Structure 1
């Protein structure tokens, strides 16, 4: 143990007494700190000087018109960039920009195309197009600069996009606000529509029944129309027959009226003659009263009276015959129940068709009854005259041989003649005053009525074509209506399903949402909504272990790296062996380990002291930063010194290889998960991994569980290498001495 400290004291004395050695050792002490300080200073704020990066901007946007308003997005971007000092913006032409980025004058170029505003404005059309900004970058110039310029371009695009989105959303929310106001005003109508839907849902079965009934009614109506269309020819024939019958009836009435007018004077003359004869007989019999007559004179009187009565009977019989002929003529007038005889001019159809077709009822005068009464009364008058003649002849038989009864006989004859005269006068008055005027009146009335009937039938006849047209149109319309109803019936299941679905949706919406809440939502402040969508999410950063700048974040890596580099510098210039044979190899190992350790500690104090005092780094735990630095220096020195002390020049190479592997695989600059699998596999076994981690704890804030884990690994690693050197240095040096001697024979190794 004493020999170990002897070696250490001699080394310290030699350094302190030899000014050349002192200068060299001083240089070795300060050189590692320079390595750390310069790198940390360069990394202190690498993104704070991006305003020195030249980036060209080409604005070719010509603008666009949107709803009578001109917009120019390119011009707005240029105005924004001029106020943005994040980079050194150069606003140039396309050719100059592309030439500049190709030759390296510009790190990047952004080209705003001529249709930039037009593409953005297409959002209000039915075919919106995404706007594009061309970005050119020269990655050959620097590996980091393209990332910085790309970030700047992305920020610009995001800013323009957010402003555009906020503007569009502002318009949309303004429309939604107006829609909310309109919806609030139309809320009663909306509720009324809901009620209509529910009422329609309830009425669907009734509507279906109505459609079926309407279809049945349309079918029945169409059948009735077809039947009516089939009856139209028959109706036309019946109308024609009715007109023919009226014409015939009027013709018969005119003939009867003419006959009556022709016969009337003769009938009146005959009746007048009979009346005159009756009056003459009556006067003659009156003259006989009170005159003494013999039977001869009585016979002459009776004969004269008999002759007059016979003449009267003949005259009355003539009147009766005239009335009978007139009645026969009247009876030829067609009756409502009569049918024209087959083969007549007015009815060319056969009898069978005539029987099948009904004849229209026509008004006919009641002439036959009046004439029957007249004929009957004429017959009664005739019988009265015959009876009077018979009675007169009977008087002649009674008074034969009875002179005393002559006067009575004359009285009886006079009475008979008087009664006959009265009856004749009464009949004549009745004929003149009643029978003839009544017959003429009936004829005139019948002619007037038949004229009206004829006019009606003519009107019906002229209307039949219109009726036929109307029926045809009605048939077509009924066919169309029937087709529509059939289509409605066929579509009823679909309509019913949709109405039920709509009603269910309305009920579901009513159960899940409140339309008043929707209206309230639509009526939100458009400006507030626009501001929200301009930046819908704000990042609220909670920094658990705050690192002030990039240089502070890189301090653990460069400090640890400088400590390892300091060890390499020492083993490169200082010898790990002691000249002389008075010490054992183990004593030499530990003796020189103390010397190297002391120099390493000095290096550490200078490095960490400079980090704290000279650089703009913010160490959360400066004391522990120094302590951890000392521990790391001891561990690194034990590792590097052991490798060189045991393996010689091979150990130097091994220390350098370890440095290379640890720089890449320790995660000092990039997260381990981003490294290739090889480095990810060796990372847990590298001292750098734990050294950097423990220094980060001092810089950002200590989590003692991590510190304990890191220091434990470093202590184990250091103890393992020291134990390895103490136990195997002598045995391994026997082999390495031969290799060293052989290598010196080459003349190129020291």
Structure 2
């Protein structure tokens, strides 16, 4: 241990004796701090000066007309951009904007085309078209500026979208409000409609029965058409019906004559006995004639006998003639009696039949004739009118009725089942809706304030930011990275500028040389850490919650980095210096000090846990934003692990590799260009 301290004291004694060495060490101590301070100050608040990033704006929007109102969204955008100081907006023609971006006069351009407003209002059309703002950016000018310009352009489109959504939402919710008022007014009608639908559902069996009757009626249409034709034919016979009615009236008018004839027939019936007496008289006359005829025959015979005795031929001739006349008369009387008897019999039958008709049937017929006559006088005109109306109805309305019946039958056959299903489905939905949705609640929802609703729709989510471990500016947030980087750069300067071996090394053991010279490097590294950390806090005034811990942990990081770089150079010589530079390059990308490591490639994500920067920057961030003890302890533990690995590397490899490293260094120096 004494020899280690001896080497350390000798180093500082030699340094104090050479002023140029003191100046060099002073520079090595301060230069890393300057590196950190300059970069931190340069990055102090880069987003406060974005107005210097020029973005050209070309507006050629011709506007549009909606419901009689002219609008020009492009002009509104330009007006809003004039009040927006986040970027350096320059308003030029489209051609100028394109050329300016290509030449580098502008970082980007925004082009609002002629149909921007027209497409914006196409939301009211069947096929709306999204409007476009053409954004062109020159990415070769600067790596960051295009991103800032893109962010500005995105912010503008978001503002346009929010304004548009608010406008449309205001219109929609105003419509909702009016709909709520109208719905409230129509609520009784709605309930009535519900009742009607439920009643209609209950009436579906009757409707179905009516449909079946319509189909049945359709089958009877030919019969109805035939009967209708008969009515038309009956209309054509109205003159005959009228004539028949007149005849009935005439018959009624002649009824007194009929009654008179009836009386005579009845009287004649009473005289039928007289007719029978006439027949008896005729029979008696016939008998008398027969007797006379017999007497004449006897007289003729006696006359003939007498004539033989005397001349009485003249008398006989007269008697014969009289006899012949009597025979003829008798025959005539006989024929007359027979005919009279037949006629009397026929007449008696007719008279009796007529008398029976008159006594029995005539009163009924007379009554019916009076009824018929009353019908003719009172009802027949109306019947004739009804016949004409019915005939006219059949001629004019029956075709339409048939078409309606066919339509109703087709409806019953084809559409009624679906209609019934829809009614039942609608009724079921209404029942479910009544069970799940309160119409009064819906009305209250629709009557919400349109302005408040549209404002909510345009910005449905308010991002309430709670700053955990807040850091006031970008420079302070980057202080851990640049401070840590400065300490690694300072440690690299040391191994590049100072010797890691000692004079008369053969007098010391390898570990004595290693630790003796390491103490000198650590002293300078601690000074570097003190200067850079105090300068951060009190020279450029970076923000840190725990200032003391910021200084102390910066010193710890400086010690760790010096040990790592010194060990690499002490063990591997000039190659170790190169390894320190390589480690610097790898750690900048893999430590998550600038961009999150998750945004880097898979290689850097894999080496991330094995880099000292990973834990150094994490530990310093804790002191700047607010310390979480567990995180700090974990980071210190990993940094001490790197120290232990460095010491192990030195103990294991320094002595075996020392002679080979010396030979390699001698060969390098023999080139007269490598130190």
TM-score range, shorter chain: 0.7 to 0.9
Alignment of 1:241-320 (within 5 A): none
Query: Would you say the 8 A contact 1:589–1:726 is kept in 2?
Result: no
Alignment of 1:194-233 (within 5 A): 194-216=194-216, 219=219, 223-227=223-227, 229=229
Instruction: Determine helix, strand or coil for the equivalent of 1:749.
Output: coil
Change (3 A) 1:483 1:51: closer
Instruction: Determine helix, strand or coil for the equivalent of 2:45.
Output: coil
Query: Would you say the 8 A contact 1:225–1:471 is kept in 2?
Result: no
Asked if residue 618 in structure 1 is aligned to residue 511 in structure 2, the reply is no
Alignment of 1:467-546 (within 5 A): 467=391, 470=394, 473-474=397-398, 477-478=401-402, 480-546=404-470
Deviation of the 1:475 alpha carbon: 6.4
Change (3 A) 1:474 1:649: same
Instruction: Determine helix, strand or coil for the equivalent of 1:656.
Output: helix
Tell me, in whole angstroms, the C-alpha distance in 1 between the residues paired with 2:173 and 2:152.
Answer: 31
Which residue of structure 2 aligns with residue 438 of structure 1? Answer: none
Which residue of structure 2 aligns with residue 270 of structure 1? Answer: none
Q: Which deviates more from structure 2 when the two are superposed, residues 544-553 or residues 30-39?
A: 544-553
CA offset digits 1:433-470 (Å, max 9, x no partner): xxxxxxxxx9xx99x989x89x979x969968973872
Query: Would you say the 8 A contact 1:41–1:615 is kept in 2?
Result: yes
Tell me, in whole angstroms, the C-alpha distance in 2 between the residues paired with 1:374 and 1:135.
Answer: 134
Change (3 A) 1:212 1:748: same
Deviation of the 1:507 alpha carbon: 1.2
Pick from 578, 583, 596: which aligns with 1:671? 596
Instruction: Determine helix, strand or coil for the equivalent of 1:70.
Output: strand
Pick from 492, 497, 505: which aligns with 1:568? 492
Query: Would you say the 8 A contact 1:557–1:668 is kept in 2?
Result: yes
Which residue of structure 1 aligns with residue 661 of structure 2? Answer: 736
Tell me, in whole angstroms, the C-alpha distance in 2 between the residues paired with 1:245 and 1:88.
Answer: 112
Instruction: Determine helix, strand or coil for the equivalent of 1:48.
Output: helix
Which residue of structure 2 aligns with residue 162 of structure 1? Answer: 162
Which residue of structure 1 aligns with residue 71 of structure 2? Answer: 71
Query: Would you say the 8 A contact 1:29–1:603 is kept in 2?
Result: yes
Which residue of structure 2 aligns with residue 593 of structure 1? Answer: 518
Tell me, in whole angstroms, the C-alpha distance in 1 between the residues paired with 2:48 and 2:410.
Answer: 82
CA offset digits 1:516-564 (Å, max 9, x no partner): 1110011111122122223221111112211222111211111111111
Instruction: Determine helix, strand or coil for the equivalent of 1:152.
Output: helix
Tell me, in whole angstroms, the C-alpha distance in 2 between the residues paired with 1:568 and 1:449.
Answer: 144
Tell me, in whole angstroms, the C-alpha distance in 1 between the residues paired with 2:396 and 2:190.
Answer: 45
Tell me, in whole angstroms, the C-alpha distance in 2 between the residues paired with 1:601 and 1:77.
Answer: 57
Deviation of the 1:39 alpha carbon: 1.2
Alignment of 1:254-653 (within 5 A): 369=262, 372=265, 467=391, 470=394, 473-474=397-398, 477-478=401-402, 480-580=404-504, 581-653=506-578
Tell me, in whole angstroms, the C-alpha distance in 1 between the residues paired with 2:180 and 2:83.
Answer: 40
Which residue of structure 2 aligns with residue 281 of structure 1? Answer: none
Asked if residue 680 in structure 1 is aligned to residue 573 in structure 2, the reply is no
Query: Would you say the 8 A contact 2:228–2:394 is kept in 1?
Result: no
Change (3 A) 1:466 1:711: closer
Tell me, in whole angstroms, the C-alpha distance in 1 between the residues paired with 2:256 and 2:28.
Answer: 154
Which residue of structure 1 aligns with residue 181 of structure 2? Answer: 181
Tell me, in whole angstroms, the C-alpha distance in 2 between the residues paired with 1:223 and 1:7.
Answer: 137
Q: Which structure would you say has the larger Rg?
A: 1
Change (3 A) 1:366 1:723: same
CA offset digits 1:661-681 (Å, max 9, x no partner): 111111111111111111111
Tell me, in whole angstroms, the C-alpha distance in 1 between the residues paired with 2:276 and 2:488.
Answer: 179
Tell me, in whole angstroms, the C-alpha distance in 2 between the residues paired with 1:108 and 1:114.
Answer: 20
Paired residues, what number? 583
Tell me, in whole angstroms, the C-alpha distance in 1 between the residues paired with 2:380 and 2:528.
Answer: 141
Q: State the superposition RMSD in angstroms.
A: 3.7
Q: Which deviates more from structure 2 when the two are superposed, residues 477-486 or residues 628-637?
A: 477-486
Provide the TM-score with structure 2 as the length reference. 0.79
Deviation of the 1:478 alpha carbon: 3.7
CA offset digits 1:337-370 (Å, max 9, x no partner): xxxxxxxxxxxxxxxxxxxxxxxxx999567536
Query: Would you say the 8 A contact 1:229–1:468 is kept in 2?
Result: no
CA offset digits 1:352-404 (Å, max 9, x no partner): xxxxxxxxxx999567536646867999999999999xxxxxxxxxxxxxxxx
Query: Would you say the 8 A contact 2:569–2:576 is kept in 1?
Result: yes
Query: Would you say the 8 A contact 1:239–1:460 is kept in 2?
Result: no
Asked if residue 43 in structure 1 is aligned to residue 72 in structure 2, the reply is no
Tell me, in whole angstroms, the C-alpha distance in 2 between the residues paired with 1:704 and 1:674.
Answer: 27
Query: Would you say the 8 A contact 2:245–2:373 is kept in 1?
Result: no
Change (3 A) 1:467 1:365: farther
Query: Would you say the 8 A contact 1:59–1:112 is kept in 2?
Result: yes
Deviation of the 1:720 alpha carbon: 2.0
Deviation of the 1:187 alpha carbon: 0.7
Query: Would you say the 8 A contact 1:108–1:138 is kept in 2?
Result: yes
Tell me, in whole angstroms, the C-alpha distance in 1 between the residues paired with 2:418 and 2:12.
Answer: 106
Change (3 A) 1:386 1:508: closer
Instruction: Determine helix, strand or coil for the equivalent of 2:412.
Output: helix
Instruction: Determine helix, strand or coil for the equivalent of 2:203.
Output: helix
Deviation of the 1:238 alpha carbon: 11
